Amino acid sequence: MADSLILEVADLEVDVLTGIYSEETGRPQPLRITIQARMRPADRYTPETPLHASKNYMDLKFAATGALPPGVHFKLIEAVADHICETLFLQDERVDEVTVKIVKLAISENGEAIGITLTRQRRD
């Protein structure tokens, strides 16, 4: 098995235009988003290793916030997850796989986590 490095940003709460039902459309819904990006690591990390030898965690956060196009309504949260995956693949060629978990907070009645997990591998 080859070495890998998994970066993670967990439990971001982001308001996104999403949904297919009339009560969901036209207003943002709160989503809880967790992102894992698997990439090829450097040969070794030392105390002096610079940031560019890895990936900035803020890139993962940006993919779930600033990179989502404003005013675009995603019918499915699967499409939100797919957009996040593609953003991370475009950002860095070292990213081999992305997993995005999205929980729709607005439909939870008793604290349950209702949503999806999408895993995409780079397709070069």
CB 5 within 8 A of CB 38: yes
Domain that includes residue 44, residue range: 5-121
CATH number of the structural domain spanning residue 66: 3.30.1130.10
pLDDT, residue 13, reads 97
How many independent structural domains does the chain possess? 1
What is the rounded CA–CA span in Å between residue 36 and residue 97? 8
pLDDT digit string, tens, across residues 31-58? 999 999 999 998 999 999 999 899 999 9
pLDDT, residue 48, reads 96
Kindly report the pTM of this predicted structure.
Answer: 0.93
SS3 for 14-82 is EEECECCCCCCCCCCEEEEEEEEEEECCCCCCCCCCCHHHCCCHHHHHHHHCCCCCCCCCECCHHHHHH
